[in-house]
Chains A and B, each alone.
Chain A
Amino acid sequence: MSNIWLIVQREYLIRVRKKSFLIMSILGPILFGAILFVPALITVFASDEHKHIAVLDESGLFRNRFENTSTLTFTELSVGLDEAKAALKKKQYDGVLLIPDINLSEPKGFTYFSEESLAPVTKSTLERTIRQAIEELRMMRSGIRQEQLDSIRAQVDIATIKIGKEGEQESSSGAAMVVGYIGAFFIYIFIFLYGAQIMRGVMEEKTNRIVEVLICSVRPFDLMMGKIIGIGAVALTQFLIWVVLSIGITSAVSIAFGLDKVAEARTKGQIEQLRQNPEMENAIEISNAMAAIASINLPVTLAAFLFFFFAGYLMYGAMFAAIGAAVDSETDSQQFMLPITVPLIFAIISLSAVIANPNGQLAFWLSLIPFTAPVVMMARVPFTGANWELFVSMLILIASFISMVWVAARIYRVGILMYGKKPTYREIAKWLFYRA
């Protein structure tokens, strides 16, 4: 036991001390944060500059309709278009919005003059303001008063409630989908990334012949499991660093985007007020997504993630170790990689079908097959929660990884001492029955 511990320690330390580990640890969450926030960032940067817009309202219907924002300042002009254009040339304004004397039932002829093209955000702000004004004017024409108008406006949000044994639970299928995808994808990536590291590590020891020195003081099984566990610990460390950094980055970004204001408003029930401010829309959306994620059964999902992460990693890790032991070089490993990569890739490809119908036949069977279960069942857990299928899937996976470790240990034991020729599947099958 102490030997396995020494091996775990070494495998862990040499990897964690590498520069590449540090780089991956920092880059991971940055990339993750980037994927989440780049769209929002782009919008912000696009509307970053301050615009001063002159409004030339020939209809007189839009007085005091345009409210200044942090990026837009409006000035209502009562001069002619030519004079306004001249002012534009003198750079008194960034743009001139011409509202002709319009017919309310058929409004058209809105024009924006400027030396630069109009940013989409600014355009949509202008359009929304004009549209709202026209709608309100029309309604008031048909006899609706401002107070009635305010009470008419509605914000609709469908809450999905799942009826389970524990009673009714709020659920969010959108959030379940996101969490399922991310969880399944992480498992997939980590199995590939760190499984390949196991294989390379075993191969290194084999081609260096250090294995002969090691095997005379350590049992092959200890050597293999020490390596798998050590590298697994590296994966977990990496993952934890990512989570911690991601939380850090997310909260930093939240503050930058004003999500904290949204959260505050949410608790005070003032979300509607906030919604009036177009700048806060991104923030509200992100905040909504976060609230939805919180609505999933997180303890079960997290437990399932850790379980499938480890069981899947152990099972595939043992297979990678066996391959590393069986071959002499990375080129030879390709042929044996196939049985590993095919089920994994199949699982990731079928993921969208599984998530579209998490309780369907495909999803059901793929979560029973141990080779696809870590990815597929993980994607389903946020939808299904803890049910018998989850437990059956887990049981099968446990049984599979134990037998896979057993098989791999036997291949490993023989393989690491075989040099020279590339073995065939048949030979490897024979190794299972050699006496150690």
Chain B
Amino acid sequence: MNILETIHLVKRYAEHTALQDVSIAVPEGQIYGLLGPNGAGKTSLIRIITQITAPDEGKVIFKGEPLAPIHHQQMGYLPEERGLYRKSKVGEQLMYLARLRGLKESEARKRIRAWLERLNLMEWAGRNLEDLSKGMQQKVQFIATVVHQPALIILDEPFSGFDPVNAALIRDEILELRRQGSTIIFSTHRMDTVEELCDYVGLINRSRKVLEGKKSDIKHAYKTHTFVIETDAPVTLTENGYEILQTESLEGGIYRHLVKIHQGSNNGLLRACMAQANIVSFHEQIPNMQEIFIRVVATANMQPPTV
């Protein structure tokens, strides 16, 4: 079931169209990566989902109902540009934000305490935010986003500004939140995190959605029938349908071949190689999200832009 669907969203600003007919579907309990180059319209889409702005056309369905202000409290949003009150105490502003999202004071206190302890911030609760390091401020902001256990969490570049240790900490918390049943929308440029975390991806380019689906399905669809064969001797392929794209020699007298199959089967390729050398390893080269991203965006940009 989809926790969130946008249907034919259009958002226009004075000089340009930020979103043109964007329909996405975010399945419940999954991590959904919202990808796209700068200025593609990701932030506009997120602002509509978080009800910061309204679309000019189209609608948003949340849990089967048209999106309305009552859904505010079921969402948590971490904007890319982080911001909290610099001159307020960490504990106090978390309390304020938690209460604005509908938590009772006692409940909010309990959860804030638990989160601060989990992210090693307890001793900073009474300090002003400006006394904290940037990484710690980010953690505070993360707590502010998830303290009310929202059903839908929207994270805009959540790892920017974190050192590797804290990034790993936050990543584990995100996975834990998914395990507890939250749905997470990730907006990011960093394909390694997409690769690592996302179950679903949606790609937006030039105000339009150009790709969406389960990450494994997309990868499958963008397979190029390229295989990596490692052998103990160099191989040449003369048969039609197999093309060696690249050969490199590795340490220990191993040769790695990149072979594209235009026609024929995997076994046929293996047989051809076996005749010439011992096979050390064989696997299909699955495109990574980075490659898919670049390919899709490049293809889309070759078409004349629609306004």
A residues touching B (Cβ–Cβ < 8 Å)? 3, 6-7, 10, 14, 204, 208-219, 417, 430, 435-436
Contact = CB atoms under 8 A, between A and B. Distances in A.
B14 interface: yes
A14 B88 contact: yes
Given A10-B96, A217-B100, A218-B100, A212 B54 contact: no
B242 interface: no
Given A3-B100, A216-B52, A436-B53, 11 more contacts: A14-B88, A210-B84, A210-B85, A212-B79, A213-B78, A213-B97, A213-B145, A216-B75, A218-B72, A435-B54, A435-B56
Interface string B65-94: 000010011010111011111101000000
A209 B78 CA distance: 11
A219 B83 CA distance: 18
A417 B86 contact: no
B99 interface: yes
Nearest to A416: B52
A244 B144 CA distance: 41
Q: Contact size class for B? A: 20 to 34
A210 B72 CA distance: 16
Given A14-B88, A417-B53, A213 B99 contact: no
A212 B52 contact: yes
A213 B94 CA distance: 12
Contacts of B52: 212, 215-216, 417
Nearest to B85: A210
A5 B97 CA distance: 13
Contacts of A218: 72, 100
A436 B82 CA distance: 23
Nearest to A435: B54
Given A212-B52, A417-B47, A217 B73 contact: yes
Interface in B144-203: 144-145
**Interface-central residue, A215, A216, A219, by most chain B CB under 10 Å:** A216
Contacts of B144: 213
B101 interface: yes
B72 A212 contact: no
B207 interface: no
B50 interface: yes
Contacts of A3: 100
Contacts of A10: 96
B100 A208 contact: no
A209 B47 contact: no
A288 to B, nearest CB: 49
28 contacts: A3-B100, A6-B96, A6-B100, A7-B100, A204-B85, A209-B81, A209-B82, A209-B83, A210-B83, A210-B85, A212-B52, A212-B81, A213-B79, A213-B83, A214-B100, A215-B52, A216-B50, A216-B51, A216-B72, A216-B77, A217-B72, A217-B73, A217-B97, A218-B100, A219-B69, A417-B52, A417-B53, A430-B14
A395 B105 CA distance: 41
A204 B100 CA distance: 19
A209 B56 contact: no
Contacts of B84: 208, 210, 213
Contacts of A14: 88
Interface of A is mostly: helix
B79 to A, nearest CB: 4
Contacts of A430: 14
A395 B9 CA distance: 44
A108 to B, nearest CB: 72
B54 A436 contact: yes
Nearest to A419: B81
Contacts of B47: 417
Contacts of A204: 85
B124 to A, nearest CB: 18
A126 B9 CA distance: 93
A214 B83 CA distance: 10
Contacts of A219: 69
A244 B77 CA distance: 46
Nearest to A434: B53
A217 B101 contact: yes
A219 B71 CA distance: 12
Nearest to B69: A219
**Interface-central residue, A211, A215, A218, A436, by most chain B CB under 10 Å:** A215
Contacts of B54: 435-436
A210 B82 CA distance: 7
A40 B78 CA distance: 62
A373 B99 CA distance: 39
A133 B84 CA distance: 79
A218 B84 CA distance: 15
A408 to B, nearest CB: 18
Report, nearest first, the 5 A-B pairs whose CB atoms are least far apart: A209-B83, A208-B83, A216-B50, A209-B81, A210-B83
Contacts of A216: 50-52, 72, 75, 77
A399 B126 CA distance: 45
Contacts of B50: 215-216
B86 A208 contact: yes
A208 B97 contact: no
B44 to A, nearest CB: 11
A329 to B, nearest CB: 15
A239 to B, nearest CB: 25
Interface string B95-114: 01101110000000000000
A218 B83 CA distance: 16
A10 B99 CA distance: 11
Contacts of A435: 54, 56
Nearest to A3: B100
B100 A209 contact: no
A360 B277 CA distance: 111
Contacts of B73: 217
Contacts of B72: 216-218
Contact of B83 (A7, A212, A217): A212
B253 to A, nearest CB: 57
A217 B101 CA distance: 6
Given A213-B144, A214-B100, A216-B51, A208 B79 contact: no
Nearest to B50: A216
**Interface-central residue, A213, A215, A218, by most chain B CB under 10 Å:** A213
Contacts of A208: 83-86
Nearest to A5: B99
**Interface-central residue, A204, A208, A212, A417, by most chain B CB under 10 Å:** A212
A210 B88 CA distance: 12
Contacts of A417: 47, 52-53
Contacts of B77: 212-213, 216
